[in-house]
Amino acid sequence: MEEGLVEEQYIIENGIHDSLHYIQTKENIKIKNLGQNLIKPLRFRLKTK
């Protein structure tokens, strides 16, 4: 909540367990997207050489 990942109202309505699950899911999506973004430029470079 301090870092702005989850709103206070979301925690009140859904509870702590669901809020932690939401944060974990959100972080996994960020990591997956980061990995994909790093690989695409490498593929492009390999094809052009």
Length, in residues, of the chain: 49
pLDDT of residue 23: 74
Q: pLDDT per residue over 8-49, tens digit each?
A: 777 677 777 787 777 777 765 555 555 555 555 555 555 555
* pLDDT value at residue 37: 55
Question: What pLDDT sits at residue 1?
Answer: 46
Residue type, 16: I
Separation in Å, CA 31 to CA 3, 14, 24: 18, 24, 11
Q: What is the tens place of the pLDDT at every residue in 1-10?
A: 445 666 777 7
Q: How many domains are contained in the chain?
A: 1
DSSP secondary structure string, 9-38? Answer: HHHHHHHHHHHHHHHHHHHHHHHHHHHHHH
Domain that includes residue 30, residue range? 1-49
CA separation for the pair 32, 23 (Å, rounded): 14
Which pLDDT value is given to residue 28? 57
User: Residue 32's pLDDT is what?
Assistant: 55
